[in-house]
């Protein structure tokens, strides 16, 4: 199987990660398209025999970070934990919605690591390679992301439900 066929085969995984990373379908599709365009243009840089999936996630991460940097607001809210709506009685669908919103509020670096480890089931080593960071940084970002999610979700009064989700 050549690289073009392997790229096409990986599109559903790219779309899933992009959707989780940016939130809405249209932006996710734009991110996937930009990623595939860049990957196709830079395919000569891909080393045959290495993990194409990890390479594509690296390309996607870089495209996403570049977009975020281009639209970054000057004031940073990283130290402030946003208030989320109180959990209603409609059940687990609302918990999932709140969790999705909380994940979207994480800093990009933490959200990327969290999604690659949990959604894409990549190992710490694969994430470190894909993002070009040391494995210790992966573990640190993942730990901070999980802690921020706990704090945001506990602020929702969802401590009991959070234990069920674990």
Residues 138/109, Cβ–Cβ less than 8 Å: no
Residue 64, classified by CB atoms within 10 Å of its CB into exposed (0-12), middle (13-18) or buried (19+), is buried
Which one, of 162, 164, 55, 155, lies nearest residue 105 by Cα? 155
Domain tally, the chain: 2
Identify the CATH number of the domain in which residue 111 sits: 1.10.10.10
Between the alpha carbon of residue 144 and those of residues 42, 106, 107, the distances in Å are 33, 10, 10
Question: Could you read off the pLDDT tens digit of each residue along the chain, which spans 166 residues?
Answer: 677 788 889 999 999 989 988 888 999 999 999 999 998 888 888 888 788 888 899 899 889 988 888 876 655 555 566 666 654 556 677 778 888 888 989 999 999 999 999 988 899 999 999 999 999 999 999 999 999 999 988 875 544 454 444 4
Same domain, 87 and 64: no
Identify the CATH number of the domain in which residue 35 sits: 1.10.1740.10
Which residues form the domain of 111? 76-161
Q: How big is the chain, counted in residues?
A: 166
Between the alpha carbon of residue 92 and those of residues 21, 102, 154, 162, the distances in Å are 21, 15, 15, 10
């Amino acid at each position: 199987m050549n690289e073009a066929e392997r790229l096409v085969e990986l599109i559903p995984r790219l779309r899933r990660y992009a959707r989780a990373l940016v939130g809405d379908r249209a932006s996710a599709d734009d991110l996937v398209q930009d990623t595939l365009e860049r990957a196709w243009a830079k395919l000569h840089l891909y080393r045959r025999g290495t993990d194409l999936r990890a390479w594509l996630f690296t390309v996607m991460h870089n495209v996403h970070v570049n977009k975020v940097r281009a639209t970054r607001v000057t004031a940073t809210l990283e130290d402030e934990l946003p208030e989320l709506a109180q959990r209603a009685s409609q059940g687990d669908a609302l918990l999932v919605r709140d969790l999705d919103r909380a994940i979207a509020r994480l800093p990009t670096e933490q959200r990327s690591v969290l999604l690659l480890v949990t959604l894409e089931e990549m190992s710490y080593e694969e994430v470190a390679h894909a993002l070009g960071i040391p494995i210790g940084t992966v573990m640190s970002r993942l730990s901070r992301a999980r802690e921020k999610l706990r704090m945001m979700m506990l602020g929702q009064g969802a401590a009991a439900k959070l234990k069920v989700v674990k």
